[in-house]
């Protein structure tokens, strides 16, 4: 896409700011596509109609679905396991409605996320005595995050399968992303593909650029565990 075409399309997208969910999906898909042609990061400045912004530290992320999505849990556990999407859907689901906040200053109030409690997956895997922390990896091939075992065991930390009561879209990190409700949204790794139990915290992608390893929201926004 040439630059003028891109800007024209952006303008058309803004002019067409409509509320129909199908249009929102189109816009979101457009943001994802445009960001792959926009090394300036311009698309990162465009809000989508839901108030979210599209973030990815890489240009192009493969699409995964029921046929090829896999979530690997390994490291210091007794029972490593690779979950498929149907397997994850068959486990008990928890729904949380909290405010999403990015360190860039935008927030989206009362956003429902639903999925499997991370604590349940860790119980099933059997964390060994030496386990202290988790390292999360993503099928974008680059992003990573971490939590201590104590943080990961909270009842407001999910491997989320739905966002706003719909399957998580590709742009928002589907088919499964981490959702760490009490922390800034950078902790909620999109396109989640690996959870490794480690003996210490291995700082994630943004932490390498100075972000806090502990991304707690302020008390008022954190909510009850
Ligand atoms: N894999 C991956 N996960 C990620 C990011 C990313 O760039 N790549 N960005 C983080 C940041 S800084 C934020 S604010 C949210 C943005 O989520 P969204 O794109 O669904 O709005 O995802 C977080 N998780
Ligand atoms: Mo963010």
Instruction: Write down the pLDDT at residue 223.
Output: 76
Quick one: pLDDT at residue 14?
40
Residue 33 reports pLDDT greater than 90: no
Global pTM exceeds 0.85: no
Q: Phi and psi (nearest 5°) for 53? A: -125, 150
Query: Which pLDDT score is estimated for 71?
Result: 98
Identify which has the larger pLDDT, 49 or 137: 137
pLDDT at 20: 41
Q: Which of 169, 145, 170, 147 is CA-nearest to residue 157?
A: 147
pLDDT average, residue stretch 144-161: 98
Give the count of alpha carbons within 13 A of 52, CB side only. Answer: 22
Distances (CA, A) of 76 to 145, 173, 194, 201, 214: 17, 26, 13, 13, 22
What is the per-residue pLDDT across 181-205, written as a single tens digit (0 to 9) for each? 999 999 999 999 999 999 999 999 9
Distance of CA 144 from the midpoint of ligand 2 (Å): 13
Buried b (16+ CB within 10 A) or exposed e, 7-30: eeebeebeeeeeeeeeebeebbeb
- Per-residue confidence band for 21, with pLDDT thresholds at 50, 70 and 90: very low
**Two tokens, residue 10:** 């952006």
Write down the residue that tokens 């990961």 correspond to: 152
Is residue 39 packed enough to be buried (19+ CB in 10 Å), middle (13-18) or exposed (0-12)?
A: exposed
Ligand closest to CA 137: 1
Angle of CA points 175, 118, 219, to nearest 5°? 105
Closest C-alpha to ligand 1, atom 7: 56
Q: Is the pLDDT of residue 90 over 50?
A: yes
Q: According to the model, what pLDDT value does residue 129 have? A: 98
CA of 186 to the centre of ligand 2 (A): 5
For the segment 117-142, the average pLDDT, to the nearest whole number, is 98
pLDDT in tens, 62-81: 999 999 999 999 999 999 99
Distance of CA 36 to the CA centre of its chain: 19
Q: Supply the pLDDT for residue 47.
A: 55
pLDDT score recorded for residue 219:
84
Q: Measure 143 CA to ligand 1 centroid, in angstroms.
A: 9
């Amino acid at each position: 896409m040439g630059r003028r075409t891109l800007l024209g399309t952006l303008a058309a997208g803004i002019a067409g700011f409509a509320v129909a969910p199908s249009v929102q999906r189109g816009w979101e898909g457009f943001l994802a596509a445009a960001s792959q042609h926009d090394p300036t990061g311009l698309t990162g400045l465009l809000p989508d109609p839901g108030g979210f912004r599209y973030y990815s530290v890489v240009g192009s992320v493969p699409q995964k679905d029921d046929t090829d999505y896999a979530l690997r849990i390994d490291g210091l556990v007794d029972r490593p396991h690779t979950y498929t999407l149907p397997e994850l859907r068959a486990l008990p689901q928890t729904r949380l409605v909290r405010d999403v906040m990015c360190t860039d200053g935008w927030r989206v109030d009362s956003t429902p996320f639903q999925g499997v409690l991370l604590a349940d997956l860790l119980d099933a895997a059997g964390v060994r005595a030496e386990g202290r922390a988790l390292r999360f990896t993503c099928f974008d091939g680059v992003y990573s995050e971490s939590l201590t075992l104590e943080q990961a065991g909270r009842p407001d930390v999910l491997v989320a399968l739905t966002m706003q009561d719909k399957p998580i879209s590709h742009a928002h990190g589907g088919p499964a992303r981490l959702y760490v409700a009490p922390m800034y949204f950078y902790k909620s790794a999109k396109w989640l593909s690996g959870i490794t139990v480690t003996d210490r915290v291995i700082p994630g992608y943004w932490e390498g650029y100075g972000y806090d390893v502990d991304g707690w929201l302020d008390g008022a926004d954190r909510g009850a565990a």
